[in-house]
Amino acid sequence: MSSSRSNREIEIKLRVSSAREGRRLLRAAGFHTVHPRVFEDNRVFDTPRRTLAGADQLLRVRQAGRAALLTFKGPAAPGKYKSRGEFEMAISDARMAALILQKLGFEPVFRYQKYRTEYAPPRGHGVVSLDETPFGCYLEIEGAPRWIDRATRALGFGESDYLTASYAALYREWCSQQGVKPGDMVFPRRL
């Protein structure tokens, strides 16, 4: 979700050993739940020639509980934070949106799932999401750069822990380390 009125997403990820550990760190730093745990099913679309991926852009349809979103993300700017333009809108029907995109010539190229719980800080403007993926747990910290740095320190991490790769890239890296062929990043069964 964009962190400012300029439709710019600024974020980093931090790897945590488990969801339990992530919740413990968040509670200890004074964060509180603002959106309870929800299952997300995401489908990424591209042209047959993968022109969006080639331009570091993303077109996604997300179903998160009863909510559905259509999102476009522009290329990421280089730096210690992942910073990119993001345009997002609520939609009433994720399946119909996917069908419309396919009728327009886009095709589904990647599917990924996660469980997400969103937390707010005791003060300041930003959000921390605890993401439980099929290959591990992460804290995604989104907000202004100074706030990200403060929140990261409050959680017991430093700049050397910052991850700016997408979940798709982190998943491919994990698959390579495990010696498995990457496919869609989905749970073998719903938890």
Q: How confident is the model over 60-74, as pLDDT tens digits?
A: 999 999 999 999 999
Q: What value does the mean pLDDT take over residues 102-114?
A: 98
Q: What value does the mean pLDDT take over residues 118-122?
A: 93
**Confidence (pLDDT) at 167:** 96
Where residue 122 falls among pLDDT bands split at 50, 70, 90?
confident
**Confidence (pLDDT) at 72:** 98
**Does the pLDDT of residue 176 top 70, yes or no?**
yes
Share of the chain above pLDDT 70, in %: 96
**Does the pLDDT of residue 5 top 60, yes or no?**
no
Which residues 6+ apart lie within 8 Å of 131 measured at CB? Answer: 13, 114, 115, 116, 137, 138, 139, 140, 167
Q: What value does the mean pLDDT take over residues 122-138?
A: 93
The alpha carbon of residue 189 and the mean position of all alpha carbons in its chain are separated, in whole angstroms, by: 20
**Confidence (pLDDT) at 189:** 74
Q: What value does the mean pLDDT take over residues 110-120?
A: 98
Task: Confirm if 100 and 43 have CB atoms less than 8 A apart.
Answer: no
Mean pLDDT of the chain: 94
Provide the residue ranges of all domains of the chain, joining segments of one domain with +: 8-178
**The residue to which tokens 């991490």 are assigned:** 157
Query: Residue 97: which region, alpha, beta or left (left: phi > 0; alpha: psi -120 to 50)?
Result: alpha
Q: What value does the mean pLDDT take over residues 21-30?
A: 97
Where residue 133 falls among pLDDT bands split at 50, 70, 90?
very high
Q: Is the whole model's pTM more than 0.85, yes or no? A: yes
**Does the pLDDT of residue 4 top 60, yes or no?**
no
* Right CATH for 8-178 from 2.130.10.10, 3.40.50.720, 1.25.40.10, 2.40.320.10: 2.40.320.10
**Does the pLDDT of residue 185 top 90, yes or no?**
yes
